[in-house]
A = this chain, B = another copy of it.
Amino acid sequence: MASIAEKLADKQQEISVGEFFERNKHILGFDSLTKALVTTVKEGVDNSLDACEEAEILPEIKVEIEEVGDREYKVAIEDNGPGIVKRKVPEVFGKLLYGSRFHEISQSRGQQGIGVSAVVMYGQLTTGKPTKVRSKINEKDYANEMKITLDTKKNEPEVLNEEVVLWEGKEHGMRFETTVKGLLRRGKHSVFEYLKNTAIVNPHAKIEFDRDGDKTVFKRATDQLPEKPEAVMPHLKGIELGTLAKMAKNADRRTLKSFLKNEFSRISYSKAEEICEEADIDPKTNPSDLEVEDHKDILNAAEEVKLMSPKTDCLSPIKGMLIKKGLKNVLKGNHPEYYAPPTTRDPNVYSGNPFQVEVGLVYGGELEKEGPVKVLRFANRVPLLYKKGGCATTTAIKNIDWRIYDLDQKGGKGMPSGPAVILIHVASTRVPFTSEAKEAIADIPEVIDEIEKGLRECARSLRTHLNKEKKRKKVKKKFTVVNDILPMIAKKSAEIIGEEPPELDRSLTKIMGVVYIEEESSWEDGRCKMEIEIMNYTPKERDMELFFEKPYPETELLSSNVEPDHEGDHLEWKIEDLEPSETRTFSIEFDGDLEKDDLDGTDIYIEGVGETKLIGAEPLPEDWDIELTDIEEED
């Protein structure tokens, strides 16, 4: 046997990282021609969005795809980000496992330093062509341009030629052009779908898509940049034993107490002492002297001691109104009847990693009535198009009995069906993807639980809405009866007894008991007119506020019969002393390159009327991060 063992030994050798990923390109998202093209665009756009946010720039991204041969496409991605300094360009594009965020605990799209260099590798592997990269970091400077390939054997970049070029009209930014084998499809798994969904969860980005000269623009729905996520320290709860061991071994601090306080988040000196006591270790021990059993005791102690949840300023959720805007931007053509107020759950933790779940639900109108509801899945603002079946989002949806929320679901199991779109966004410093291709979220119980809770919140809103819809229909009927017949009866009765007909308004409002809003809008040539009627069918004089959310930052108020009390991303009118039976009408007109369905009744909110008394509009969700003008004080 010794000779066989020797023979085998001779064959054993180190394998290059580059060759490993070259062979296993399917785990990087290049497993089919269609997907390869989506992945190429995705890696570029993810990087551009990350870079823009890092530099606090409102992203403007151009994606160009041109068919240049049989199943061969030239793909160019350009941004207005900060650019990359010349000396780093080759490695960022031509070396796998090279990046800036691997050792940082923060929410970002890319993290592993593989994405865009995998694109370069895939391009050269399938078409033999290098990737051309242009970068400009300073308004007054020239841009650098170079052609790059990746030597997979060494995992090092090769720069084929370098030029200094004038990049006019561009203050700063990146552009790369690569040629890849691929297949440009339409529909579910397409580049278009990917960009559309990216626009939904990145309402602060403007994204242009040019497909062989055929252009689509996804407009910016807000010019509010997402809050910049902060990098944080790890949380002791749920950290791997080996990670703790490594940190302790390399710790700068001299005592365990100081190590715990300074290298973990949410641990004060007193908490550190509590942990040491629970673990029965002297707080003055040098952390590098700790042994495996001590590490275990510390982790067990962390489970016993009450620790604050990880800090959440490392997360940057999209949040309510912007999720709705994103959804509306894309779904408006289907005239949905209802947007449930999107839910942003409180941050939670799995294995020491903070994460946060957001859920949106859109219902009715002309959304597809047949078949399962449509699900839009996102992780750190990146759409997930593939592997739906193996994703925690799907698990969570299937866990719910949707029938109690008035959605169809066969046997209370599996995907619900009906005219609804569900959006799920998971933000985390480390999204637990099932593979490096980042296509699906692993079934982590804590994550599934949060998604379920978010889904239920939206589902409850939907049920309330559907009940109110029923009520609205009843109210409408009642309205006809009460408004037409009651006065007639009163009149007849009065005639009979020879008296004046009684004042009915008070009785009418008592019977109705609602504030009723009706809206009508018309569109012409990029302008939109809207009439909002607010009717007080309650027996009480009422004060309230009317909010109207503009679709785009550049939407302009042309005229309004009543001067708004605030104008910004939203309009705000204070309505005072609305008498029982009184109707107030707001006629407003907007301009700003509007499309037909840009404005509708789902943008109207009323503050100051109880939800159950409000018919035809939604109350402004309390947890939505809208800067309310304190009108009282302005008076």
Contact = CB atoms under 8 A, between A and B. Distances in A.
A375 interface: no
A278 to B, nearest CB: 16
Contact of A292 (B4, B54, B128): B128
B26 A434 contact: yes
Contact of A14 (B85, B97, B443): B97
Given A15-B99, A442-B26, A242 B8 contact: no
A183 interface: no
Nearest to A181: B241
A496 interface: no
A135 B296 CA distance: 31
A24 interface: yes
A57 B350 CA distance: 46
Nearest to A85: B9
Contacts of A443: 32
Q: How many copies of this chain does the complex contain?
A: 2
A104 B11 CA distance: 10
A582 interface: no
A112 interface: yes
Interface in A113-142: 113, 124-129, 137-139, 141
A43 interface: no
B5 A84 contact: yes
A186 interface: no
Contacts of A269: none
A547 to B, nearest CB: 36
Nearest to A113: B15
Interface string A412-451: 0000000000000000001011111100001100000000
Contact of A296 (B24, B91, B128, B245): B128
B55 A242 contact: no
Contacts of A240: 125-126
A240 B92 CA distance: 24
B1 A55 contact: yes
A172 interface: yes
B97 A27 contact: no
Given A97-B14, A112-B15, A6 B85 contact: yes
Contacts of A88: 9, 12
A491 to B, nearest CB: 62
Contact of A83 (B1, B32, B92): B1
Nearest to A11: B100
B55 A97 contact: no
A161 interface: no
A242 B124 contact: yes
Interface in A1-26: 1-2, 4-6, 8-9, 11-17, 19-20, 22-24, 26
A95 interface: yes
Nearest to A22: B242
10 contacts: A5-B82, A9-B87, A11-B104, A12-B91, A14-B97, A15-B113, A17-B97, A22-B242, A32-B442, A127-B241
Given A11-B101, A23-B430, A26-B435, 20 more contacts: A1-B82, A1-B83, A6-B85, A8-B54, A8-B82, A8-B100, A9-B87, A13-B99, A13-B102, A13-B103, A17-B17, A19-B102, A23-B112, A31-B432, A32-B443, A125-B240, A126-B241, A128-B292, A128-B295, A435-B435
